[in-house]
Structure 1
Amino acid sequence: MSIIYEDLEPGVIDTVMIMKALENERPTGEAGRLAAEEGIILQEVTSLRLQFLNILKIDHLWMMTSLVELQLGNNIIEKIEGLNSLVNLKELDLSFNSIKVIENLEKLVKLEVLTLFENRISKLENMENLVNLMIFSIGNNQIKSRNDVIYLRQFPCLRSLNMAGNPCVENGDKDFQEYICAFLPKLTYYEYHIISAEERATAEISYRTILKRLEETEEKERQSRMEAEARAKEMAFHAEAFVENLDRDQLFNAMFENDANGKTLLTMGEAAMDVYNKFHDETMKVIHQLFKLGLEQHEIRQEEIRQYFKCVDAAKEENKISSQQYIESFLKRKDEVFLDIHNILQAVDKLADTEETSDKGEYISRLQILFDQFNDERQAAWYKLMAKELTLYEQLEETNGNFGQNINDLVSTFTEEAQSFFAQIRNLEASYNEEMSEVANAYLTNLNITTVPVSPELKQIMVNKESLNGATTQSHDFRLHTIDNRETQLLTRIHEWVKEYCDEITIGETRNSRKKVIEINHFLDIQREESEDLQASSLIAMTSLLPAETVESSGPQTAVPQDTKEEGEDATTTDTEPPESSATEEEGEDTADTVPCESSTESTAAS
């Protein structure tokens, strides 16, 4: 039973409570000081303890997506809620609260340890998604039926269980433990005591007959689930091809499902049924052709998509390798320049006590040349890398345009053929309506000259020719409306898909290009800062070792490189103008290499 602390008001979890709890868990000493300086980032917190706080409601945990362990025991919580965002949670302690129902755990698929000891729960339910559950404590609750033990058979990882203190333990702990051993064969610990092989063998003998029937029932249920999953997977695939519910007679049945008059007319006799069966067979042939077309066209579109990504990925890989090689070459030259600079500084340091100012001045000039050389190479690197990225961006832009045109052409081909099939179905329906009207008129004529038993529904239609024509027209319109709706659904969905898909590709490539530009700028900013720091330290060293007039006259001057865009700027490769000078060439490399692509997408991809 949960304990209420009179000195604390019942409350809701809020940010203040969370931050206070995290601060109390902060380590002491130097580690605590460093942690305080860094601050608390809720998105990165992995463990949280909120115990003995009279918490009534769970809230404000949505931002703690990295949480692995959550302890909320010894409060007055009445409902499990507010945990959907904790997708990485592995341990959840809700013991000693006032919870009545197990619920809202669907998103916690990684949960391994669940403690609900000492609550008011009367049934095990809503835990189907906890496929990784290993330790479950549900003792001291209000579970009355032993069938709840059967519910736990669905958890393949469950190894430790505690159900002590529940009403279902009616015949003594020993008997219930035997029941547990028999029906949970994978369980290793019950009430934190290991289950021996002898206990398990005895339990299986005691419940052999019941176990056999249960296993047979579970096998049938498993087969049903597998069939349902296979059907759901198949339907999802058909939906991707935009021909869902066309593999069987769903569309045909839908034409009569809510058509009371159409169904009633079928009771006129054998002639009406012959017309109906003929309509069914001919319509199903066309529907099957439409379904087959949808699957074939879907595979053609998927192949186009595969070839597109194969081409794009190859181009990006070529660009990546080329850029990496250039960066490695640049860094190698940087190391050589910086080594020369350090060697000069060491030589100047050795000449500090001599009077050879002419030699010192020569070293200063050499330093200046080296710094200027590195700044020039850094600037050339910026132009080179940006030119590579710009070339890739422009060629991918062309590739995306060609792909969009190709995929739209494929969609147009499919929709035109699909519309022709729907037109055939409408023609068949018109013929059916005409033939059924003839049968109905003949039936009405025969009804006027003979006495034939007629159902009240059919009698209402057969009052006269006017009422009969009204009924057949209404049925005709309903069937056409059903066909038109299915055609509109197909056309609308596929056109929405192709637009969203192409837009997503374009937006994704633009985002990737901007990210690459930021990376290039960031990398070269680091190189610039290193150069400036080394140049500043060199100037200090020269100032301390040489006369002031020597440094002022020939000391190294800070080169001002061309500004690059800051990391936070919304930069795109389309804002970058590659240089036309020889700075864009390195050892005879071309700024753009063409990657051949065998896709039907007529494009070239950049390296």
Structure 2
Amino acid sequence: MPGILLDGPQGEAGPKVITDELTRLCIQVDGDPDNVESKRQKLPYREVEHLAFSFKGLVRVSNLQGLVNLRKLQLDNNALTKIENLDGLVNLRWLDLSFNRIAKIEGLDKLALLEDLSLFSNCIEQMENMEMLTNLMVLSMGRNNITSLHNVMYLRQFKRLRLINLSGNPISNDSDYKSYILSHIKDLTYLDNRRVLAADVQAAMEQHQDEVIELQEKEEQEAAAEKAAAEAAAHQELMQQANLQGVETMLEDMTKNDPEWAKLASIPNLLDSWNDVKDKFTTATDEFKVLMLEQHEKKQAEFAEWLAVATQATSERDQAGRDLVRSFEKVIKQALRSIQDDPGSGEAALKGPRERNEALHEALLALEMETVDILQDLLQQLDRNYSELADASRGFFTTYFATVRDLDNRFFENCATAALTALEKYASDAGDMEGLPDEARQLLADKDSLISTVQAAHDVHSQHLDTLEDRLTSQEVKRANDLVAEKTSWAENRDRARIAEIIAVVDRNRKVMEEALHDDEQYT
């Protein structure tokens, strides 16, 4: 294991690197004192759970690779100025960095399982960079340089935090120090090594009532927003899995991408019937989503059933193959013992095992071919069933998009009629046009321009519907084909690996018997 660099003063020798011997000495193990040193020397670094580098004059920590299961690390009473090189200690639960010269909290991002952290007696001014420590229960930061009482709010995010020590910081001299912490940090059991009393918490809550209520309301709003965002993300994920992306936002997307829509909207009452389209669209879309989500569930159930049957079929035959191999191993072991007991009998003793080995080869290959046949049948069933589901979904798409197109076509028929009505109205009373936007007056001044704009908008909508239907329909078929292709590739790779394994097993058996026969001939 690479050592820990000692850049600090070490007597006359100057900077040193901790040797393996010294690292071994820092391993903490339990047991009989007479056996502790032996355990230290033999324990693999991946099994080390507790290291204590206290009072070693360290100014820098590095090269802690290999300690993947370390749970407790003591780096207290050194001369460290920076927290670094701890990323590999992903299973660390307890970290003591007290009595050092650390000025900033950092380098803890990978220690998600950390429960107990001591930074007592350092030079820290700000509590920060601990967001990943979601399991933190104990935090000791007494005798640092924290001057802002509001910085304590940073600790409110740690829901499991039960013990805090901030004594000896400048903030501890504030008259509101205790009441502020007890009112703003929930569920504390100990503060500055003293048991938290319910009466003190109640008094603190009353003292800071207005601020706490405002804080709680803000947190509730944030929690509600986070919940809504999570639900929206989950919904979008479901829409993606069910091949419904772009369906719910279809009308919004059509109008947003329509360069003529704003022009038409500038003419009073021209687009009034669009609200009726949206209502009928919502009804049709809700019914369509029910059908497609049912299809999605059928696909999931179909694949789950296929996977269960395929897994059982392969597992049963793989187990049968292992049983055959173990049975042969007993035969060959018996033959080898026979040769040892009766030197010179190798040919006779191995005649049967040789034949059994060839039979084993054929039996294992027969099992594998049986598995291949079963998987081929299952893949054909999967292909057939998924194709049927995809065909049904394509039918649902055709019906649904036909309904939406009909709604859109009727809307634009109404829009064209409304456009002609508007032309007649403003032609008979040009004074009414004075209050209209410039775009509306320009359109109403030219019949051909107005009708062309309505048609252009209709064309944009139609193009959007055609593109979306083509994409979703193609995706439906592609997903079915991709799944079958993926599982077919898996079956082929599995078969190749199993054949190679069978050959290796049989060849190994041959080699063992050849070596045994050679040794027997040499002996005689």
| TM-score range for the pair, normalised by the shorter chain length | 0.7 to 0.9
**Cα 1:291–1:72, aligned 2, differ >3 Å: closer, same or farther?**
farther
**Cα 1:330–1:112, aligned 2, differ >3 Å: closer, same or farther?**
same
Maintained 8 Å contact 1:312/1:396: yes
* Partner of residue 301, structure 1: 299
Once the two structures are TM-superposed, the CA of residue 396 in structure 1 deviates from its matched residue by 1.6
Once the two structures are TM-superposed, the CA of residue 485 in structure 1 deviates from its matched residue by 4.8
**Cα 1:295–1:338, aligned 2, differ >3 Å: closer, same or farther?**
same
| 2:454 counterpart (464, 472, 485) | 472
Q: Deviations for 1:227-260, whole angstroms, at most 9, x for unmatched residues?
A: 44334323322221011464x5x32222223546
| Secondary structure of the structure 2 residue equivalent to 1:25 | helix
Maintained 8 Å contact 1:64/1:86: yes
Q: Deviations for 1:414-446, whole angstroms, at most 9, x for unmatched residues?
A: 235314422432343233223212212321221
Maintained 8 Å contact 1:102/1:121: no
Once the two structures are TM-superposed, the CA of residue 33 in structure 1 deviates from its matched residue by 8.0
Query: Is 1:160 aligned with 2:163?
Result: yes
* Partner of residue 437, structure 1: 416
Maintained 8 Å contact 1:140/1:165: yes
* Partner of residue 572, structure 1: none
Matched AA of 2:236: M
Counterpart-to-counterpart distance in 2, 1:101 and 1:444: 72
Maintained 8 Å contact 2:127/2:154: no
Q: Deviations for 1:425-478, whole angstroms, at most 9, x for unmatched residues?
A: 234323322321221232122112212232344334433224423433443344
Once the two structures are TM-superposed, the CA of residue 207 in structure 1 deviates from its matched residue by 1.6
Once the two structures are TM-superposed, the CA of residue 186 in structure 1 deviates from its matched residue by 3.5
Matched AA of 2:352: Q
Q: Deviations for 1:12-51, whole angstroms, at most 9, x for unmatched residues?
A: xxxxx9x97778625698878878xx9x99xx99889999
* Partner of residue 359, structure 2: 380
Matched AA of 1:253: E
Counterpart-to-counterpart distance in 2, 1:429 and 1:322: 63
| 1:136 counterpart (136, 139, 153) | 139
**Cα 1:447–1:189, aligned 2, differ >3 Å: closer, same or farther?**
same
* Partner of residue 490, structure 2: 508
* Partner of residue 600, structure 1: none
Maintained 8 Å contact 2:182/2:205: no
Counterpart-to-counterpart distance in 2, 1:488 and 1:63: 54
* Partner of residue 329, structure 1: 327
Maintained 8 Å contact 2:68/2:91: yes
| Secondary structure of the structure 1 residue equivalent to 2:308 | helix
Maintained 8 Å contact 1:46/1:66: yes
Counterpart-to-counterpart distance in 1, 2:391 and 2:329: 52
Q: Deviations for 1:178-236, whole angstroms, at most 9, x for unmatched residues?
A: 54345444434444x2525xx34322333247467355654555455444433432332
Count of matched residue pairs: 492
**Cα 1:234–1:104, aligned 2, differ >3 Å: closer, same or farther?**
farther
* Partner of residue 257, structure 1: 256
* Partner of residue 30, structure 2: none
**Cα 1:375–1:104, aligned 2, differ >3 Å: closer, same or farther?**
same
Range 253-262 or range 67-76, more displaced = 67-76
* Partner of residue 283, structure 2: 285
* Partner of residue 110, structure 1: 113
Query: Is 1:454 aligned with 2:443?
Result: no
* Partner of residue 237, structure 1: 238
Instruction: List runs of 5+ in structure 1 lacking aligned partners.
Output: 9-16, 346-362, 544-551, 553-607
* Partner of residue 203, structure 1: 201
* Partner of residue 176, structure 1: 177
* Partner of residue 560, structure 1: none
| Secondary structure of the structure 1 residue equivalent to 2:172 | coil
Maintained 8 Å contact 1:21/1:49: no
**Cα 1:21–1:437, aligned 2, differ >3 Å: closer, same or farther?**
farther
Counterpart-to-counterpart distance in 1, 2:172 and 2:345: 91
Counterpart-to-counterpart distance in 2, 1:460 and 1:72: 79
**Cα 1:429–1:20, aligned 2, differ >3 Å: closer, same or farther?**
farther
* Partner of residue 312, structure 1: 310
**Could you state the TM-score of these two structures normalised by the residue count of structure 1?**
0.65
Counterpart-to-counterpart distance in 2, 1:82 and 1:477: 61
Once the two structures are TM-superposed, the CA of residue 517 in structure 1 deviates from its matched residue by 4.7
**Cα 1:164–1:268, aligned 2, differ >3 Å: closer, same or farther?**
same
| Secondary structure of the structure 1 residue equivalent to 2:134 | coil
Maintained 8 Å contact 1:21/1:48: no
The alignment's C-alpha RMSD in Å is: 4.6
Once the two structures are TM-superposed, the CA of residue 309 in structure 1 deviates from its matched residue by 0.8
Counterpart-to-counterpart distance in 1, 2:507 and 2:73: 42
Once the two structures are TM-superposed, the CA of residue 159 in structure 1 deviates from its matched residue by 3.3
**Cα 1:523–1:52, aligned 2, differ >3 Å: closer, same or farther?**
farther
Counterpart-to-counterpart distance in 2, 1:406 and 1:473: 43
Maintained 8 Å contact 1:185/1:200: no
Once the two structures are TM-superposed, the CA of residue 322 in structure 1 deviates from its matched residue by 2.1
Counterpart-to-counterpart distance in 1, 2:462 and 2:255: 11
Range 46-55 or range 332-341, more displaced = 46-55
Query: Is 1:400 aligned with 2:382?
Result: no
Matched AA of 1:252: L
Counterpart-to-counterpart distance in 2, 1:81 and 1:484: 56
Maintained 8 Å contact 1:265/1:440: no
**Cα 1:297–1:116, aligned 2, differ >3 Å: closer, same or farther?**
farther
**Cα 1:512–1:155, aligned 2, differ >3 Å: closer, same or farther?**
farther
Maintained 8 Å contact 2:180/2:208: no
**Could you state the TM-score of these two structures normalised by the residue count of structure 2?**
0.74
Matched AA of 1:309: L
Maintained 8 Å contact 1:264/1:457: yes
Counterpart-to-counterpart distance in 2, 1:309 and 1:368: 48
Once the two structures are TM-superposed, the CA of residue 299 in structure 1 deviates from its matched residue by 1.5
Q: Deviations for 1:288-333, whole angstroms, at most 9, x for unmatched residues?
A: 3332232122122112202211210220232134224334433444
Q: Which has the higher contact order (CA 8 A, sep 6+)?
A: 1
Counterpart-to-counterpart distance in 1, 2:183 and 2:142: 19
Matched AA of 1:242: N
**Cα 1:340–1:238, aligned 2, differ >3 Å: closer, same or farther?**
same
Matched AA of 1:134: M
Identity of aligned residues (%): 23
Counterpart-to-counterpart distance in 1, 2:518 and 2:188: 69
